[in-house]
Amino acid sequence: MNIDVKQYTRADFQSNQEVRWCPGCGDYTILASVQTFLAELGIDREKHVFISGIGCSSRFPYYMNTYGMHSIHGRAPAIASGVAAANPDLTVWVITGDGDALSIGGNHLIHALRRNINLKILLFNNQIYGLTKGQYSPTSEQGKRTKTSPMGSIDYPFNPVSLALGAEATFVARTLDMDRKHTAEILAAAAEHRGTAFIEFYQNCNVFNDKAFIELTSRETRDDNRVYLDHGKPILFGPDNEFGIRIGPTGAEIVEVSKVGIDSIQVHNAKDPEPGVAFALSRLSRGPHGPTPLGIFRDVERPVYEDLLVGQIEEAQAQKGTGDLADLLRSTGTWTTN
Amino acid sequence: MSSDTETDARPTPEKIDRVVIRFAGDSGDGMQLAGTQFTASSAMFGNDLATLPNFPSEIRAPAGTIAGVSSFQVHIADWDILTPGDHPDCLIAMNPAALKANLHDLKPGALIIVNVDAFNERNLAKAGYESNPLEDDSLRAYHVLTAPMEELTKKALVGTGVKGRAVLRSKNFFALGLMSWMYSRPLKPVEQWITKKFGEDNPVAAANLAALHAGYNYGITAEGFHHTFEVEPAALPKGEYTNISGNIATAWGLIAGARAANLPLFLGSYPITPATSILEELAKQKHFGVKTFQAEDEIAGVGSAVGAAFAGNLAATTTSGPGLALKSETISLAFTLELPLIVIDVQRAGPSTGMPTKVEQSDLLFAMYGRHGEAPLPVVSIASPADAFSATMEAVRIATKYMTPVILLSDGYIANSSEPWKLPDVADLPTFPVTFTTEPNHGDEFLPYTRDPETLARPWAIPGTPGLEHRVGGLEKHDGTGNVAYEPDNHQLMTELRAAKIDAIRKDIPPIKVHGDADSKILVLGWGSTFSAIRAGVLNARRNGRSVAHAQIRHLNPLPPDLGDVLEGREVILIPELNNGQFARMIRAEYLIAPRSFAKIQGEPFKADEIEEQLNEICREINS
Q: DSSP string covering B162-205, please?
A: --GGGGGGGHHHHHHHHHHHHTT--SHHHHHHHHHHH-TT-HHH
- Please give, rounded to a whole number of angstroms, the shortest distance from the CA of A234 to a CA of chain B: 39
Q: What pLDDT, on the 0 to 100 scale, is given for residue A4?
A: 57
Q: Quick check: do B242-428 and B515-623 share a fold? A: yes
Instruction: Kindly identify which residue of chain B lies nearest to residue A109, measuring between CA atoms.
Output: B296
Give A1's pLDDT tier (boundaries 50, 70, 90).
very low
| H-assigned helices in A46-204 | 76-86, 98-99, 106-115, 160-166, 180-192
* Three-point CA angle B502, B505, B509, nearest 5°: 150
Counting one residue from chain A and one from chain B, the pairs whose CB atoms sit within 8 A come to: 215
Using the 8-state DSSP alphabet, how is residue A18 labeled?
A: P
Give the residue from A145, A235, A180 showing the smallest Cα distance to A32: A180
Using the 8-state DSSP alphabet, how is residue B297 labeled?
A: S
- Please give, rounded to a whole number of angstroms, the shortest distance from the CA of B288 to a CA of chain A: 4
Cβ distance A335 to B472 less than 8 Å, yes or no, reads no
* Percent of chain A with pLDDT strictly greater than 70: 99
- Please give, rounded to a whole number of angstroms, the shortest distance from the CA of B382 to a CA of chain A: 18
Q: What pLDDT, on the 0 to 100 scale, is given for residue B9?
A: 59
- Please give, rounded to a whole number of angstroms, the shortest distance from the CA of B570 to a CA of chain A: 40
CATH topology of domain A10-212+303-310: Rossmann fold (3.40.50)
B471-484 CB burial, b ≥16 within 10 A, e <16 = bbbbbbbbbbbbbb
Instruction: Read off the pLDDT of residues B245-301 as tens digits, 9 standing for 90 and up.
Output: 999 999 999 999 999 999 999 999 999 999 999 999 999 999 999 999 999 999 999
Q: Which residues in chain B have their CB less than 8 angstroms from residue A323's CB?
A: 255, 285, 287-290
Cβ distance B285 to A71 less than 8 Å, yes or no, reads no
Whole-Å CA distances, B386 to B392, B418, B514: 11, 8, 19
- Say how far apart CA B42 and CA B51 lie, in whole Å: 11
CATH no. for B515-623: 3.40.50.920
Q: What pLDDT, on the 0 to 100 scale, is given for residue B45?
A: 87
For an interface test with B, give the residue of A43, A45, A47, A67 to mutate (most B CBs within 10 A): A67
DSSP state letters, A230-255: -TTSB-EESTTS-EEEEEETTEEEEE
Instruction: Read off the pLDDT of residues A7-26 as tens digits, 9 standing for 90 and up.
Output: 999 999 999 999 999 999 99
Give A294's pLDDT tier (boundaries 50, 70, 90).
very high
For an interface test with A, give the residue of B310, B333, B422, B436 to mutate (most A CBs within 10 A): B310
Q: What pLDDT, on the 0 to 100 scale, is given for residue A5?
A: 58
B242 contacts A333 by C-beta, under 8 angstroms:
yes
- Say how far apart CA B394 and CA A334 lie, in whole Å: 24
Using the 8-state DSSP alphabet, how is residue B104 labeled?
A: G
For an interface test with A, give the residue of B306, B426, B444 to mutate (most A CBs within 10 A): B306
Instruction: Kindly identify which residue of chain A lies nearest to residue B334, measuring between CA atoms.
Output: A71
Instruction: Kindly identify which residue of chain B lies nearest to residue A311, measuring between CA atoms.
Output: B286
Cβ distance B266 to A17 less than 8 Å, yes or no, reads no
Instruction: Read off the pLDDT of residues A67-93 as tens digits, 9 standing for 90 and up.
Output: 999 999 999 999 999 999 999 999 999
Q: Smallest Cβ distance to A86: which of B234, B237, B307? A: B307
The pLDDT of residue A297 is above 50: yes
Instruction: Kindly identify which residue of chain A lies nearest to residue B389, measuring between CA atoms.
Output: A329
For B180, phi then psi, to 5°, come to: -65, -35
Q: What pLDDT, on the 0 to 100 scale, is given for residue B5?
A: 44
Q: Smallest Cβ distance to A67: which of B233, B255, B463? A: B463
For A11, phi then psi, to 5°, come to: -60, -30
Give the residue from A258, A261, A254 showing the smallest Cα distance to A293: A254
Give the residue from A100, A104, A93 showing the smallest Cα distance to A47: A93
Kindly state whether B386 is in contact with chain A, defined as any CB-CB distance less than 8 angstroms. no
Q: Which helix (H) or strand (E) element contains residue A68?
A: strand A67-70
Instruction: Read off the pLDDT of residues A193-206 as tens digits, 9 standing for 90 and up.
Output: 999 999 999 999 99
For an interface test with B, give the residue of A52, A315, A337 to mutate (most B CBs within 10 A): A337
Q: Which residues in chain A have their CB less than 8 angstroms from residue B256's CB?
A: 325
- Which sequence spans correspond to the domains of chain B? 5-231, 242-428, 435-508, 515-623
| H-assigned helices in B269-320 | 276-284, 298-310
For an interface test with B, give the residue of A15, A44, A57, A329 to mutate (most B CBs within 10 A): A329
Cβ distance B243 to A332 less than 8 Å, yes or no, reads yes
A33 contacts A184 by C-beta, under 8 angstroms:
yes
Contacts of B238 (CB under 8 A, 6+ apart): A337, A338
Average pLDDT, whole number, for chain A? 96
For B92, phi then psi, to 5°, come to: -100, 115
B564 contacts B517 by C-beta, under 8 angstroms:
no
Contacts of B78 (CB under 8 A, 6+ apart): B17, B18, B47, B48, B231, B232, B233, B234, B235
Q: What pLDDT, on the 0 to 100 scale, is given for residue B138?
A: 93
Strands (E), B63-126: 69-77, 90-93, 111-115
For an interface test with A, give the residue of B48, B286, B326 to mutate (most A CBs within 10 A): B286
- Which sequence spans correspond to the domains of chain A? 10-212+303-310
Instruction: Read off the pLDDT of residues B184-216 as tens digits, 9 standing for 90 and up.
Output: 999 999 999 999 999 988 999 999 999 999 999
Give the residue from B429, B598, B484, B604 showing the smallest Cα distance to B54: B604
Enumerate residue ranges in chain B where pLDDT < 50. Answer: 1-8
Kindly state whether B252 is in contact with chain A, defined as any CB-CB distance less than 8 angstroms. yes
Using the 8-state DSSP alphabet, how is residue A275 labeled?
A: S
B515 contacts B538 by C-beta, under 8 angstroms:
yes
Asked whether this complex has an ipTM greater than 0.90, the answer is yes
Q: Which residues in chain B have their CB less than 8 angstroms from residue A70's CB?
A: 471-475
Cβ distance A316 to B287 less than 8 Å, yes or no, reads yes
Cβ distance B466 to A44 less than 8 Å, yes or no, reads yes
Cβ distance A82 to B315 less than 8 Å, yes or no, reads yes
Q: What pLDDT, on the 0 to 100 scale, is given for residue B565?
A: 98
Cβ distance B288 to A328 less than 8 Å, yes or no, reads yes
- Say how far apart CA B503 and CA B507 lie, in whole Å: 8
Instruction: Read off the pLDDT of residues A303-323 as tens digits, 9 standing for 90 and up.
Output: 999 999 999 999 999 999 999
Instruction: Kindly identify which residue of chain B lies nearest to residue A308, measuring between CA atoms.
Output: B291
- Say how far apart CA A38 and CA B554 lie, in whole Å: 50
Give the CA dihedral A338, B6, B9, B15, nearest 10 degrees: -30
Cβ distance A46 to B467 less than 8 Å, yes or no, reads yes
For residue A152, count other CB atoms closer than 10 A to its CB. Answer: 12
Q: Which residues in chain A have their CB less than 8 angstroms from residue B255's CB?
A: 323, 325, 328
Q: How many whole angstroms from its chain centre is CA B240?
A: 21
Give the residue from B278, B274, B302 showing the smallest Cα distance to B392: B278
- Please give, rounded to a whole number of angstroms, the shortest distance from the CA of B320 to a CA of chain A: 20
- Say how far apart CA B538 and CA B549 lie, in whole Å: 8
- Say how far apart CA B217 and CA B373 lie, in whole Å: 66
Strand ordering across the sheet containing A48-52 = A226-229, A292-299, A171-176, A197-202, A119-125, A91-97, A48-52, A67-70, B471-473
Cβ distance A108 to B300 less than 8 Å, yes or no, reads yes
Instruction: Read off the pLDDT of residues A152-188 as tens digits, 9 standing for 90 and up.
Output: 999 999 999 999 999 999 999 999 999 999 999 999 9
- Please give, rounded to a whole number of angstroms, the shortest distance from the CA of B104 to a CA of chain A: 34
CA Rg value for chain A: 22
CATH architecture of structural domain B242-428:
3-Layer(aba) Sandwich (3.40)
Give the residue from B229, B232, B26, B231 showing the smallest Cα distance to B111: B229
CATH 3.40.920.10 applies to domain B5-231? yes
Beta bridge partners of A336: B240
Q: What pLDDT, on the 0 to 100 scale, is given for residue B164?
A: 87
- Please give, rounded to a whole number of angstroms, the shortest distance from the CA of A159 to a CA of chain B: 22
- Say how far apart CA B92 and CA B181 lie, in whole Å: 13
